[in-house]
Structure 1
Amino acid sequence: MDPAQLTALVQTVAQGLLTGGLYALIGTGLSLIFGVMRVINFAHGDFLAIGMFITLALFRTFNLDPYFSLLVAAPAGFALGYVLQRLVLSRLGERQQEGSMLATLGIGLIISNTLLLTFGAQPQNINVEYATRTFQLGGIQISLPLLVAGLGTVAAITGLNLLLYRTELGRAIRATAQNPLGAELQGVQTSNIQAIVFGLGVAFAAVAGVLLMPLLYAFPTVGENYTNKAFIVTVLGGLGNLPGAVVGGLVLGVIESLGAFYVSNNYRDAYGLVAFLLVLLLRPEGLFGKTVKRV
């Protein structure tokens, strides 16, 4: 491999890792919800779309820099998730795991159609001067918005780990995930914990939407593709496994980037689906999941 080919390979992998960081952020929110609540959230990508349109609205109304929109989108996402869990998912009772599929599908349809009525069907973007800015790092060109998104992902996931392993709330969340009845017996209000967890998952999706906005166009159904990517990430890493979701996101980003560079960019989304199917066939529990034997 000559130096030019090596540089191209490193460039492609670096691009894939940064993109994969965003996938990891999206997948972490979905994996957190499933790990604690055993709820499959089919509206996850639509919550990401909300983050994108909040950023778009704030930029056009107040000329607010997209990254400052995080101060609005993250709390708004948390509040929306908390309220939806309290008003919708918590009312499903013992059938929450099955009913949540239909409920979240319905929520996703409501969100996408509300965005369609409010903002129209045309793809829209924001014009910031750093949107296409790149810089050299060791002979490799790095997109500035993509690097900021990667750093934002690191900060969000680090904050989540500190919350889970350094606070009383985190202990309650982990207890609820491991044994809801045991947590209840220890005085943990699991219904409130589940609402908090769903809020955190939605907040992560909204944050990912904000970080994506300088890079992409926003349109009402943009979330569908990212719901699929979130599922691929969580399956690659193992359902409910947060470190696995991070690794799964990075793996997906690198696979897509290498496939786009060496085969064709037209089939970028297909490469992740192929990896998804291979994992389902060879290791259904995911790369970091555990096989559970039923007796």
Structure 2
Amino acid sequence: MDQILQHFINAMVLGSTYALLGIGLTIIFGIMRVVNFAHGELYTLGAYTAYGMVTLINLDFFSSILVAALIGMLIGALIEYVFLRRKDLKNIDEVMLIMIGIMIIMQNMELMIWGGVAKIIPTPFSQDPISMGDISISPTRVFVFCIAAVLLVIFYLGIERTRFGLAIRATFQDQDAARIVGVNVKRIYTVTFALGSAMAAVAGALLAPMFVATPLMGDLASLKAFAIVILGGLGSLGGAALGGFLLAFIEEFGASYISSAYRDAFGFLVIIVVMLFRPQGLFAAKERVG
């Protein structure tokens, strides 16, 4: 029983960051219909930003996460304004090529700046785990879960309880109707891409101290983000959050009770099954963006 509870705790920590990653991708796709292939590189950007702030500028780890979020938001806004603002987003092929190009450019810039050697992000937390009987968890993981959970709650309240969140939801449901009632859809696009990018960057800054930062870490992050979105249902913000936790549980328990060598494969096997029997996703939204 203690072993199961230990895996449950590990999955909850990982799932909270997966949820941030999935929601960031979902909100961009749901509102703009843009398949953001650069999402994983924004995740990598957040990890390297945190590393650079802590090791090169001697900024404290907590502030480095905030800086990662701000830089992710800025880069996301620039991508939308410079590369997408004047494009016809309905031209899916052109937009996909643009996003793939941005992904390649960002990945090579990260490799050029930081090199191919993995970087370890130092944290102020003790290396000694917090033990409760046979269950233990590192202070870093406790911090990561708490920050990710708080951000998910703030995002939910921002979308559901604020006037700007209402404008985002209106655009999400029907862009033409939103324009008629005075919503500045172009501004919503910019803010949406900035928010989605910031969430990816924060996920990278939070997860990197638990593992390592590498220039290619965004490849797997992108695959997992798309898997989360597909699992939760395209266009469903709640589904993306639940999909993130579900993917983490599948990986954690699959690696523990079947084989750790196939940890990343278990989630994708489940995705294939879901696509075969419920292609709209497990938690698909009833309404989709038109």
TM tier, smaller: over 0.9
Q: Distance in 1 between matches of 2:182 and 2:89?
A: 21
Instruction: Check whether the contact 1:67–1:210 (CA below 8 A) recurs between aligned residues.
Output: no
Q: Does 1:145 align with 2:140?
A: yes
> Residue in 2 aligned with 1:3?
none
Is the 8 Å Cα contact of residues 236 and 285 (structure 2) preserved in structure 1?
A: no
Residues in 1 aligned to 2:91 and 2:78: alpha-carbon distance in whole angstroms: 16
Q: What pairs up with 1:53-92 in 2 under 5 angstroms? A: 53-92=48-87
AA aligned to 1:267 is Y
Q: Distance in 1 between matches of 2:264 and 2:164?
A: 37
User: 1:110 Cα deviation (Å)?
Assistant: 0.6
Residue number in structure 2 paired with 1:103: 98
Deviation (angstroms), 1:56: 0.9
The answer on whether the counterparts of 1:51 and 1:77 sit within 8 Å (CA) in structure 2 is yes
AA matched with 1:174: R
Answer whether contact 1:66 1:214 (CA < 8 A) is retained. Answer: no
Q: SS in structure 1 opposite 2:213?
A: coil
The Cα shift of 1:80 comes to 1.1
Tell me by how many angstroms 1:113 deviates. 0.5
What is the identity, as a one-letter code, of the residue corresponding to 1:123?
A: A
Give the distance between the partners of 1:14 and 1:148, measured in 2 at CA.
13
Q: Distance in 1 between matches of 2:37 and 2:128?
A: 34
Would the aligned equivalents of 2:54 and 2:122 in 1 still touch at CA under 8 Å?
Answer: no
SS in 2 for 1:136: strand
Report deviation, 1:263: 1.4
Pair 1:160–1:292, CA change in 2 (3 A): closer
Q: How many residues align?
A: 288
- Pick the aligned partner of 1:269 from 264, 269, 272: 264
Structure 1 residue 96, shift from structure 2 partner: 4.5
1:128 Cα deviation from its structure 2 partner: 3.4
1: CA distance between counterparts of 2:159 and 2:7? 34
Which residue in the other structure is 1:168 paired with? 163
Measured after TM superposition, the shift of residue 255 of structure 1 is 0.8
Residue 40 of structure 2 is aligned with which of 45, 55, 61? 45
Choose which of 162, 165, 178 in structure 1 pairs with 2:173. 178
How far is the alpha carbon of 1:200 from its aligned partner?
A: 0.2
Q: Taking structure 1 as reference, are residues 101 and 131 closer, same or farther at Cα in structure 2, changes over 3 Å only?
A: farther
1:9 partner amino acid = I
Unaligned runs of 5+ in 2: none
For 2:21, which of 26, 51, 54 is the aligned residue? 26
Q: Matches of 2:162 and 2:124 in 1, distance apart?
A: 40
Asked if 1:93 corresponds to 2:93, the answer is: no
TM-score (norm 2): 0.94
| Deviations, residues 224-266 of structure 1 (Å, cap 9, x unaligned) | 0000110111111111211111111111111111111111111
- Structure-1-length-normalised TM-score: 0.93
Match of 2:153 in 1: 158
Partners of 1:157 and 1:82 lie apart in 2 by: 21
Q: Which of these residues, 236, 239, 249, is aligned with residue 234 of structure 2?
A: 239
> 2:185 pairs with 190, 202, 211, which one?
190
Distance apart, 1:290 and its partner CA = 4.8
Looking at structure 1, the residues matched to 45 and 126 of structure 2 have their Cα atoms a distance apart, in angstroms, of: 20
Number of the residue aligned with 1:14: 9
Q: Distance in 2 between matches of 1:91 and 1:100?
A: 11
The structural deviation recorded for 1:131 is 6.4
CA spacing shift, 1:166–1:123, aligned 2, 3 Å: same
User: Quick one: which of 109, 112, 135 aligns to 1:114?
Assistant: 109
Is the alpha carbon distance of 1:190 and 1:291 closer, same or farther for their aligned partners in structure 2, counting shifts above 3 Å? closer
- 2:31/2:189 contact within 8 Å kept: yes
Structure 1 segments, 4+ long, off by >6 Å, are: none
In structure 1, how many angstroms separate the alpha carbons of the residues matched to 2:126 and 2:262? 25
1:212 equivalent in alignment to 2:246? no
| Code of the aligned partner of 1:228 | L
Measure, in 2, the Cα distance between the counterparts of 1:277 and 1:85. 31
CA RMSD of aligned residues (A): 1.7
Structure 2 matches for 1:247-266, cutoff 5 A? 247-266=242-261
Q: CA deviation at 1:210?
A: 1.0
- Aligned with 1:285: secondary structure? coil
The answer on whether the counterparts of 2:53 and 2:64 sit within 8 Å (CA) in structure 1 is: yes
Matching residue's letter, 1:168: R
User: Does 255-264 or 98-107 show the bigger shift?
Assistant: 98-107
Alpha-carbon distance between aligned partners in 1 of 2:178 and 2:20, rounded to the nearest angstrom: 27
